[in-house]
Amino acid sequence: MTTNSKRILVIGMSGVIGGLVGRKLAERHDVCALNRSKVEEVEWFDADIADLDAIQPAFEAVDIVINMATHMPAGGGSASTAAEDVAGYLSTNVIGGYNVYEAAHRAGVKRLIFASAGASVFNYVTEEPYLAMAEARWADVPEDVPRLTHLEPYRPNGVYGASKAWGEVLGRYYSDQHGMSVICVRVGHVPHPPETEYDLSAYQASIYCSHRDIVQFFERCVDAPDDLRFDIFFASSDNRGLFRDIEHPRKVIGYVPQDGIKDWPWKNPNG
């Protein structure tokens, strides 16, 4: 560990993004995991975030919490309200989200990084010009389209997106009320391994975030100045169809994407 090593609790390290981020951070920090599934590489706490008392011991002596835990729509995509597992969202994203903030506050955690989602503002993409960008209809995209920023009002397309908005708003409260640094990261489309651009839809390509870009993003959040009290960032690579603003995280935390999908559809050089 380096002299600047921190004790970091990664919740959801058994997932794709949590595993990528947690293993990278463990190279220079003291990382532990809170999961219902066992994590072999680091110290592991076995508990459900829906149970505040059960998870509290995992937060002791922790400097930074990264909350990757989430209950998502079936298949990982967007779902209509009628098809959504509302009970699952309430248990993990709403009650569990509150428990994580509260356990962090009780333990004196300095910073909480919350893995949010663009689903909290998804319905902007149902309208032009963002729809044309998400569908790779380049001829229909006006020049100099302003990207969707973190300052736009919430427009979720279902209970899942609303539950992510809840997590962000609750983070604002804990930052204001208790002085905790809270960073909300609206994660783009991070493919499961093996990573490949050729299997993505036009929409997924527009919000694509490579494995090394998402790892860099969370590293930047961990290393952000102590006086960053609250912020919301979109995390994506530099894609041609990207309608989400990534200039804001560049200015605030120094995030510069290394990757990006430069056109769509991809032409497979081997095909």
Q: Which position has the higher pLDDT, 73 or 29? A: 29
Q: Is the pLDDT score of 76 beyond 90?
A: no
Give the mean pLDDT of 9-15: 96
Q: Is the pLDDT score of 72 beyond 60?
A: yes
Residue 267's pLDDT is what?
A: 61
**115 lies in a domain?**
yes
**DSSP, res 88:** H
**91 lies in a domain?**
yes
**Among residues 217, 215, 211, which one has the least CA distance to residue 194?**
211
Residue 195's pLDDT is what?
A: 76
**266 lies in a domain?**
no
Q: Is the pLDDT score of 74 beyond 90?
A: no
Give the mean pLDDT of 230-243: 98
**264 lies in a domain?**
no
**262 lies in a domain?**
no
Q: Is the pLDDT score of 269 beyond 90?
A: no
**Among residues 244, 82, 96, 76, which one has the least CA distance to residue 158?**
82
Cβ distance 95 to 164 under 8 Å?
Answer: no
Residue 115's pLDDT is what?
A: 98
Q: Whole-angstrom Cα distance, residue 236 to residue 210?
A: 8
- 106-153: pLDDT as tens digits: 999 999 999 999 999 999 999 999 999 999 999 999 999 999 999 999
**1 lies in a domain?**
no
Number of domains the chain contains? 1
Residue 77's pLDDT is what?
A: 53
**271 lies in a domain?**
no
Q: Whole-angstrom Cα distance, residue 189 to residue 198?
A: 14
- 161-195: pLDDT as tens digits: 999 999 999 999 999 999 999 999 999 999 988 77
Q: Scanning the structure block, which residue is given the tokens 């706490």?
A: 45
Residue 3's pLDDT is what?
A: 59
Q: Which domain range does residue 90 map to?
A: 7-253
**138 lies in a domain?**
yes
Q: What is the CATH number of the domain that holds 60?
A: 3.40.50.720
Q: Which position has the higher pLDDT, 159 or 265? A: 159
As to burial, measured by CB atoms within 10 angstroms (0-12 exposed, 13-18 middle, 19+ buried), residue 184 is buried
What's the pLDDT band for 228 if we cut at 50, 70, 90?
very high
Q: Is the pLDDT score of 253 beyond 90?
A: yes
As a whole number, the mean pLDDT across the chain is 93
Residue 251's pLDDT is what?
A: 98
